[in-house]
Structure 1
């Protein structure tokens, strides 16, 4: 998309965005039960909800819906189109998914979002982008940032430098252990709308791996484990970026065969079909992943998860009840065989209880009210 086209888009929304929340509201008390005006900033890379791969965007879609159901006014800022019920302010006419890894789409998205936010009468800004928090100091509304990635290394130093200009929310307890000194204000697990995931009691005789093709996601380990267990495996993953093609061609393609099939990137309908039918989801990550949304998506379908116990895995999977958590890859084949002894209903109820949309939405509601109260600002 050309820069002139983006400018036209911004002028169009700048002219109308004041009316999204409105102006000159009667003052409200921070602690009352009135709904908050929340400005939700999505990353630019996919639509909300995503058509295919996009864990953050899927989580955002559910969160927007949950907050609206709780009585809050939400305006979503993002790229492309949306099917959420929130008023939508668009930065890119089409999400620049093919440019993931480049700098300019993120920077331009942030610049446009900052201009749009300056026209909104928001009580709080909830930012899910990388560059967006840099603009937090320039507006009166406090900014909450959900940390969707690991917070060690440079990313942790970035948040550390921003200090109390932003309020951080972790998506697992494991994530916070790598930078406990950051300005954490809460911990809220990602969630799914279990009503949109088909529950299936009887499973088929194959296993599933789903994600993006990166070495630390362990697709090659999933194939090896399934083959050692004598089970067929279906792989449905994102294959777009050069690094993903390099990994796929070196480690995945040579392993494919009659018992290991790659069927492309699954859209939201196909993903649910696969998850509901599979014997189990194999999740052999080799890094400290802060949260793996596919785990709760699979369990919402009554499908257990066989995983390596890194990052948030021990917090999400109940070992011996909703799946099996193992330390080493060579232990995975036996775990794949053992899932016959698990009850699909236990996986479903686990997600309904601890990882449903309303649990996530009320968690963020508490965070918002605490941050607004801490800032000492009236909810106008």
Structure 2
């Protein structure tokens, strides 16, 4: 299909609420494939969203690294993934430059309605896309305090930001938020199991703010084995493991290593509980809904979006102090596995993801100051904050 990029007539049709299909160019980080084989929460969400939007009749062009397993049209920005460069700023910046060139080339021959960027440096391209008449939607997958807050504030009105939890949005209310859409999973891909084995699970990466040391201490106090299935590729992760995790290990603990998608589902379905003792404002925490989909309750420290994801006393137990974690583990058998699964199906299943972002895209088109469309009033962005999620 070839048409005038961001043609006036097609944009006005959408501004009138025609609900016509969109062409969304989605930008993924360069570190893992979409979907990821193992670690990669952002990439898992991007894969679900791409397929959900295709199912809803939209056209999606996905820019990423390596290969893809989605139904979107795929343009490789990198032939190989850059997992070993995670944390290095150079790949982020170079990825943004490469993506800018690709999107410019696409826009010369085809209509792009929305650029949806899931990277950190990518939104720096938004002013140029705006000149082309293309609004940029940015999902903020990370923290919004300190330096990131200053960064997102500096983007001002060039990017429409989407939060992944109400808590995340509340921590920086002055940012140019357009909406909130919870992360989701496909429940059908996670095996439900009511009968559990006698071990607790820590799943994530070795970092102090993730709390693997707290998980070990809580499991030992509760006299239950702990399986640690965590990512340990980067130098800081290895250093933290040697300094703060290895000295706490006992013969009852199992250092499983980084779990691929098959092993992760097996561990989540069999564990008595998932330990999520975070020490930071976790914007969402997708591993919690993965566990609950398997019928596995979550024992967590209160922080970030934990209160929005886990219903304490129903799908897990939320603690205010690490000293409370062992008692919570001891009480976890009273949580109904079916209630855990039900919460994910009702609030965090992928059917809500496509609908949520579809509404965001149309709102971005309606509120954007697009070139060649003088009829669109200025100054409407900050008045159109949506709250889009599975629960309305």
> What TM-score results when the alignment is normalised by the length of structure 1?
0.92
Task: State the partner residue of 2:177.
Answer: 184
1:106 to 92, 97, 108: 92
Task: State the partner residue of 1:67.
Answer: 53
Give distance in 1, aligned partners of 2:33 and 2:211: 26
> What TM-score results when the alignment is normalised by the length of structure 2?
0.89
1:27 to 10, 21, 30: 10
Cα deviation for residue 101 of structure 1 reads: 1.8
Cα deviation for residue 119 of structure 1 reads: 2.5
Task: State the partner residue of 2:147.
Answer: 154
Question: SS of 1:38's equivalent?
Answer: strand
Q: Number of matched residues?
A: 359
Task: State the partner residue of 1:77.
Answer: 63
1:361 to 354, 358, 368: 354
Does 2:115 align with 1:125? yes
Task: State the partner residue of 1:301.
Answer: 294
Cα deviation for residue 375 of structure 1 reads: 1.9
Give distance in 2, aligned partners of 1:201 and 1:237: 24
Question: SS of 1:85's equivalent?
Answer: coil
Task: State the partner residue of 1:292.
Answer: 285
Give distance in 2, aligned partners of 1:376 and 1:129: 23
Give distance in 2, aligned partners of 1:79 and 1:109: 10
Cα deviation for residue 258 of structure 1 reads: 2.1
Give distance in 1, aligned partners of 2:320 and 2:149: 27
Give distance in 2, aligned partners of 1:180 and 1:376: 22
Aligned ranges 1:285-364 → 2 under 5 Å: 285-364=278-357
Give distance in 1, aligned partners of 2:117 and 2:101: 14
Cα deviation for residue 108 of structure 1 reads: 1.3
Cα deviation for residue 376 of structure 1 reads: 5.7
Task: State the partner residue of 2:219.
Answer: 226
Cα deviation for residue 377 of structure 1 reads: 5.1
Give distance in 1, aligned partners of 2:20 and 2:190: 31
Question: SS of 1:248's equivalent?
Answer: helix
2:208 to 215, 221, 227: 215
Give distance in 1, aligned partners of 2:344 and 2:22: 27
Q: Give a deviation string over 1:317-368, Cα, whole Å, max 9, x none.
A: 0000000001001101111111111110100010011111111221111100
Give distance in 1, aligned partners of 2:370 and 2:95: 27
Give distance in 2, aligned partners of 1:376 and 1:137: 11
Task: State the partner residue of 2:77.
Answer: 91
Cα RMSD after superposing both structures? 1.5
Give distance in 2, aligned partners of 1:304 and 1:22: 50
Task: State the partner residue of 2:368.
Answer: 375
Gaps of 5+ in 2: 372-392
Give distance in 1, aligned partners of 2:82 and 2:60: 24
1:256 to 207, 224, 249: 249
Q: Give a deviation string over 1:55-106, Cα, whole Å, max 9, x none.
A: 1011111111111111111110011111111111111110111011222211
Q: Give a deviation string over 1:24-83, Cα, whole Å, max 9, x none.
A: 588362112321111100011111111111110111111111111111111100111111
Give distance in 1, aligned partners of 2:80 and 2:2: 27
Give distance in 2, aligned partners of 1:146 and 1:226: 35
Give distance in 1, aligned partners of 2:117 and 2:271: 35
Question: SS of 2:185's equivalent?
Answer: coil
